[in-house]
Amino acid sequence: MKTYDASEIRNVLLVGHGGSGKTTLLEAMLFTSGATTRMGTIEDGNTVGDFEPEEVKKGISVSLSMAPIEWSGVKINALDAPGYADFVGDVRSAIRAADAVLLVVSAVEGVEVQTEVAWELAVEAGLPRAIVINKLDRERASFERTLDELVQAFGTQVAPLELPLGEEHDFDGVADLLSRKAFRYPSGATADEGDWPEDISGQADKFREKLIEAVAESDDKLIEKYLEEGELSHDEVLKGVKTGFAEARIAPVLCAAAAKPIGVDRLLHFIADEFPSPVDRGPITVTTKAGEEKQRDADAGQPLTAYVFKTVSDPYVGHITMFRVYSGKVRPDSTVYNATKGSEERVGQIFALRGKEHDTVAEVPAGDIGAVAKLAHTTTGDTLATKDDPVVIRGVELPEPLLAFAISPKTKGDEDKLSTALSRLREEDPTLRIERSEETHETVMYGMGEAHLDVQMERMKRKFGVEVSVAPAKIPYRETVRAAGKGLGRHVKQTGGHGQYAVCNIEIEPLQRGGGFEFVNKIFGGAIPSQFIPSVEKGVVKTMAEGVMSGYPMVDIKCALLDGKFHTVDSSDMAFQIAGSLALKEAAQAAGVVLLEPIVELEVVVPESHTGDIMGDLNSKRAKIQGMESAGAGKQRIKALVPQADVARYAIELRSLTGGRGAFTMRFSHYEEVPSHLADKIIAEAQRVREEAQKK
């Protein structure tokens, strides 16, 4: 593939809800452009975009893929983003690499949840947005209904440029509302141009009116003329569409049936002619080492600035790093500087990715997207620059993974392999979080949802040969005492040779929440020699870590050592540790043990129409509502304190309650006492699990 100038490049991100046909559209674009000789299908598992075994098995995209397409002297870097909420991290990362967004909407299902999410992300990034109404050849497909839904969801900036010719199985072409020409597809992917059928004129007038209104509303001068004269000239409409789209004030709508493929050549023409190049998008803001901001143009002659938006972990090749060059160029067999990590990287062969295929290229200049293998330190979100000018591009804010599962290797001895696999997966997917819980002694994997974590388990097995057992992550309960209590610890055993002798009296009392542990020595007169005082404390601390009733650690108590006895021969460090442990257990029983649970601060943002459902659900979860406020764009922000146990699966539950339109954040707040009727069940279950573990 030849090297293209930045003005001849179009970086386009395909987004939309799962099942809208993005991957099939990419397949049709490759076929129509001549990059492939036949179209693969999702059903056959042979598409260019969905090549991972997990994607073939599930029939959905679970990872970002890309393919370069050459059309009319332009190179189109098409990025195909997953359409399911669990994989939104790839969408957010890829938006940084794109110059415009192509929103794919099914003419059958219409505007769905991830359609709205993708639109909002593009608006947030300030990217121009075009829309393709796809699957117009399917049963129950309706262009008019889908267009109405788009206008209702995104406003009058939605402007139809085309009208379908025929409906459902009779869909065989498109009518261009600007040129008043018809384009039909009797054979193959290239349209035959002809005159507008007379029978669609009445219908077309209505849609042309919508187009003119959208153009007029995008420009103050045009709206004045339109209100005065009720019409705009053909040239004014053409110019208005081009300018409005480039400035993200108009969202043009085109028609397609990607599986045929119908309308795809027209889409490629529109991308080549109307989508902005990296030069059109203007300079990017970078930050110097001193914290100053400056601009970098899409110019191959400037110092290198490149952003890593995706890392793929290949068990054979190693890391494959996908990057967008904003200025300068990346050449093979060169050295670049990772300004984020502060380390140099050796670049070997560079290539363009077409699905899983690698097309070697001579260089990746400003504005283009490329890939390189085996970089030692570079991961997603890093900036590649020059050592003498190490600027950094602001990273992408990724969603926090909040669904937790505890994982452990099925095969003993695979702990090291598991650790390596988790590290590699984390580099590949920044929305995955791995933690080792010191309280529950579990390795906890946090993901965006069940499908996300399920895919990671499959990848772990396929790429790294590690199978894992999965269970819900334990809630880190704690024990404490309700009141003061005394306890006697007596450990006396006589055997052949030295015996064991230790007696201690302690008193415990509760401290305030977060008080930790205090140990006070009140021994007088040498009732226990000074060298054994720390032994008593050690025994108490060890038993606190194991818990007295439930197996959860005991916290927030003050322990006073009051009295005791010793034997000059038989007393020992271990004997007094055991005595301290026994004393604590007796004192805790006397004081009354209570169970504490973690309380989290929950902040939920939902559309106003779902507020009542969310409030009702939170009340059923023992939540204490702290307040509610407007979050803008017709959404409400609800703040509440909720027991962590009740929101352990909230990522799944909120998606179900709101159809995926809700979002939330969660962070630890404090510990509170568990109501007694619930505490009894939790303690009984913990004791059952502990007994089963001891039997094994």
80-111 per-position pLDDT tens digit = 999 888 888 889 999 999 999 999 999 999 98
Structural domain span for residue 614: 595-677
Q: Contact 162/148 with Cβ under 8 angstroms? A: no
Specify whether the CB–CB gap between 350 and 3 falls below 8 A: no
Confidence of residue 489 (pLDDT cuts 50, 70, 90): very high
CATH number of the domain where residue 68 is located: 3.40.50.300
Residue 686 lies in a domain: no
Question: What would the pLDDT profile of 45-68 be if each residue is shown by its tens digit?
Answer: 888 888 888 888 888 888 899 999
The CATH number covering residue 562 comes to 3.30.230.10
**One domain for residues 486 and 604:** no
CA 247-252-256 angle, 5° bins: 145
Mean pLDDT in residue range 174-191: 88
516: left (phi over 0), alpha (psi -120 to 50) or beta: left
User: Which pLDDT belongs to residue 226?
Assistant: 66
- For 284, phi then psi, to 5°, come to -105, 150
Rounded CA gap, 600 and 640, in Å?
8
Beta bridge partners of 468: 409
Specify the number of domains making up the chain. 5
What's the confidence (pLDDT) of residue 496? 64
Query: Domain check: are 158 and 13 in the same one?
Result: yes
3-state secondary structure 134-146: ECCCCCCCCHHHH
Of all helices (H) and strands (E), which one includes residue 312? strand 305-314
Distance CA(604)–CA(587), nearest Å, equals: 43
Q: What is the mean pLDDT of residues 437-443?
A: 84
Q: What is the DSSP string of 260-324?
A: TTBSHHHHHHHHHHHSPPHHHH--EEEE-TTS-EEEE-S-TTSPPEEEEEEEEEETTTEEEEEEE
- Using CA atoms, how far apart are residues 307 and 373, in angstroms rounded to an integer? 15
Over residues 562-573, the pLDDT tens digits come to 999 999 888 999
* Judgement on whether residues 543 and 455 belong to the same structural domain of the protein: no
Q: Which SS3 state, helix, strand or coil, does residue 680 take? A: helix
Looking at the predicted structure, is the pLDDT value of residue 139 above 90?
yes
Residues 132 and 192 in one domain: yes
Instruction: Give the highest mean pLDDT range of 109-113, 235-239, 286-290, 530-534.
Output: 530-534
Say if 684 falls within a structural domain.
no
Per-residue confidence at 207, pLDDT binned at 50, 70, 90? confident
**What CATH code is carried by the domain that includes residue 653?**
3.30.70.240
- Same domain for 309 and 240? no
- Residue ending a domain, among 235, 261, 281, is 281
- Contact assessment for residue 84 and residue 451, using Cβ atoms and an 8 Å cutoff: yes
pLDDT confidence band for 505 (50 / 70 / 90): very high
**Is residue 87 domain-shared with residue 159, that is, in the same domain?**
yes
Task: Judge whether 616 lies within some domain.
Answer: yes
- Percent with pLDDT over 70 in the chain: 98
219: phi then psi, degrees, rounded to nearest 5: -140, 130
Check: CB of residue 151 under 8 Å from CB of residue 207.
no
pLDDT of residue 69: 95
Beta bridge partners of 178: none
What mean pLDDT do residues 676-687 have? 86
Q: Which two tokens stand for residue 24?
A: 């099939």
- pLDDT given at position 177: 85
Phi, psi of 169 (to 5 degrees): -70, -15
User: Of 252, 270, 264, 255, which Cα lies nearest the Cα of 166?
Assistant: 255
* Same domain assignment for residues 248 and 360: no
Helices 234-246 and 220-229 cross at an angle (nearest 10°) of 150
Residue 499 binned pLDDT confidence (cut-offs 50, 70, 90): confident
The residues facing 175 across adjacent strands are 163, 182
Which pLDDT band, with edges at 50, 70 and 90, does 696 fall under? low
Confidence band for 497, pLDDT divided at 50, 70 and 90: low
Do 128 and 214 have their domain in common?
yes
DSSP 413: T
Q: What is the pLDDT of residue 653?
A: 92
The pTM of the whole model exceeds 0.95:
no
pLDDT at 692: 76
Instruction: Out of 591, 622, 642, pick the residue that ends a domain.
Output: 591
E strand spans, 162-255: 162-165, 173-176, 181-184, 192-195, 251-255
List the CATH number of the domain containing 346. Answer: 2.40.30.10
CA 152 – CA 172 distance, rounded (Å): 27
Cα–Cα distances in Å, from 692 out to 13, 411, 477, 551, 695? Answer: 52, 20, 20, 13, 5
Q: How far is CA 636 from the centre of its chain?
A: 22
Residue 671, token pair as written in the block: 């510990």
Q: Apex CA 488: angle with CA 483 and CA 492, to 5°?
A: 160
What is the average pLDDT across 654-667? 86
Give residues with Cβ within 8 angstroms of 575, minimum separation 6.
Answer: 491, 500, 501, 502, 535
Using the 3D structure, point to which of 530, 561, 591 is the last residue of a domain.
Answer: 591
* Same-domain check for residues 516 and 576: yes
* 695 falls within a domain: no
| Same domain, residue pair 350 and 309 | yes
438 pLDDT band (50/70/90 cuts)? Answer: confident
Same domain, 665 and 604: yes
Whether residue 167 is contained in a domain is answered as yes
Q: For the chain, give the percent of residues with pLDDT over 90.
A: 53
Mean pLDDT of 651-674: 88
> What are the beta bridge partners of residue 547?
none
**In angstroms, rounded to a whole number, what is the distance separating the alpha carbons of residues 418 and 406?**
13
CATH number at residue 459: 3.30.70.870
Question: Do 293 and 441 lie in a common domain?
Answer: no
pLDDT tens digit sequence for 537-552:
999 999 999 888 888 8
Is 274 a member of any domain?
Answer: yes
Q: Can you give the pLDDT at residue 425? A: 87
- Cα separation, 48 vs 63, in Å, equals 13
500 domain residue, yes or no: yes
* Alpha helix ranges (H) inside 471-594: 533-546, 573-591
Residue 213, domain member (yes or no): yes
Cβ–Cβ contacts within 10 Å for residue 399, how many? 13
Tokens of 288: 């110097």
Other C-beta atoms lying within 10 Å of the C-beta of residue 397: 8
Quick one: average pLDDT of 453-481? 90
267-302 as b/e: b if 16+ CB within 10 A: bbebbbebbbbbbebebbebeeeeeeeeebbbbbeb
Least confident of 222-236, 402-416, 494-508: 222-236
**Mean pLDDT, the chain, integer:** 89
